[in-house]
Chains A and B, each alone.
Chain A
């Protein structure tokens, strides 16, 4: 379904020398699979997702979706962004129907289809509100409805729940899993939260930073729907944490200078599980 081969991406920087955000990335995502990409902030996750979305171009390598080379954004791959990107001048209903309008579907039908998705994310009562009247979690739900109404083959999610509070996030995990189980969409999900990645995905690709590479892959073969108490999930979580400890030290070193040492000041469990969210 998604096939990324030897992809590299370098950004221009002030001062001349290019910054290699992604270096020789390769992976595949099968049809109907739920795959997460996990890595610390700044490791190139969004860049990678944008390449698959067609919002950016790779310098080297090849990105294919359904056997075709990606070179522009398209309605078969919809991105759910971290800051929702809903249009503030449109109501919830109009936002969700926006993509259908571009397909020149008649108003009545597109509103009907949009309403169906809005109800599916439990926002039936809020259809005529404007985005700023909604909470963060509701906005993300609208963004998901707006993506699903296009019936894309692939859903690309760039840290969609990162800005939400813990309760809302857990709720949306359940809802997203249910949506995925019902629709069988292929989902590429980006996060810096280990638990989120493990709870949701079939596979977790762990990225290393500077330059961004895929460091290791973990398969999560726990039963669906996932249970928070599943010991398999916890086991994989701690495996990933070990893999990432080295990465974290690298990030911390770059931010605090070379004298920083992970052994001397062990990070708390929660700091590691959020990949240095707080540092």
Chain B
């Protein structure tokens, strides 16, 4: 039994990384993965916020379908892949679908609670100042009041989307990091596999720490919520 090739050395991994960058494959895979996650993320935010607002505003809806959303959130999104494959085939759509599904429920729950937790006094005084009960109240008071929770929800949604994306790409066809990982396995190139895992980790950290956490901190500061949060 030869074990050596199963555990790539640091040097090998760096070598593979440089090669991947040089021949453009790694970069291309990264870009198309990023493109997918951004599309799915935007979709899931739009759907999640819309659903969340509906649940927060309509008691009937909340009592009938609210529980379903909690249940759906517990389903790992990869479980939807077989459906996606039957509906869309083994392609981009299937991956986008499960990535979107993976992030939507979290976003729905976060925006529902964000809207529900708005202090009633904000809404009362808004009406006193003449916003009415419609769209002006919605985008001038309800959305900004819910922003801290929405941002926290987005941060979680992004993490869920990232997970769903990689697992989807492992199975479905198309250019992407997950697919490259799968290629590495099929040709037994563990250094490529490790290299991809590292890229995934680095991208995840950068997006979470330098984008979402920054924005979250800034918003929480502006809202004066940081006294409660260290």
Contacts and interface: CB of A to CB of B under 8 A. Distances in A.
Interface in B185-230: 222-225
Interface string A53-65: 1010000000000
A72 B127 contact: yes
Interface of A: 53, 55, 72-75, 77-79, 81, 83, 85, 87-90, 98-99, 101-103, 130-133, 150
The binding surface of chain B is classed by DSSP as helix
A103 B144 contact: no
Nearest to B224: A132
B193 to A, nearest CB: 46
Contacts of B225: 88
B49 interface: no
Interface of B: 119, 121-122, 124-125, 127-131, 136, 140-141, 144-145, 147, 222-225
A55 B120 CA distance: 11
B223 A98 contact: no
Contacts of B147: 89
A102 B129 contact: yes
A55 B122 CA distance: 12
A85 B224 contact: no
- Max count, chain A CB within 10 A of own CB: residue among B140, B145, B225: B140
B122 A87 contact: yes
B222 A98 contact: no
Contacts of B130: 74-75, 99, 102-103
A89 B144 contact: yes
A78 to B, nearest CB: 6
8 contacts: A55-B128, A72-B127, A75-B130, A79-B125, A90-B144, A99-B129, A132-B224, A150-B129
A103 B136 CA distance: 12
Q: Which 9 residue pairs of A and B lie closest in terms of their CB atoms, listed nearest first?
A: A132-B224, A99-B129, A102-B130, A73-B128, A89-B144, A88-B223, A85-B121, A73-B127, A85-B125
A133 B224 contact: yes
A132 B222 CA distance: 8
A53 B128 contact: yes
Contacts of B145: 87, 89
A72 B144 CA distance: 24
Nearest to A80: B125
A81 B122 CA distance: 11
Nearest to A103: B130
A96 to B, nearest CB: 11
Contacts of B144: 87, 89-90
Contact of A89 (B129, B131, B136, B222): B222
Contacts of A79: 124-125, 128
Contacts of B224: 88, 130-133
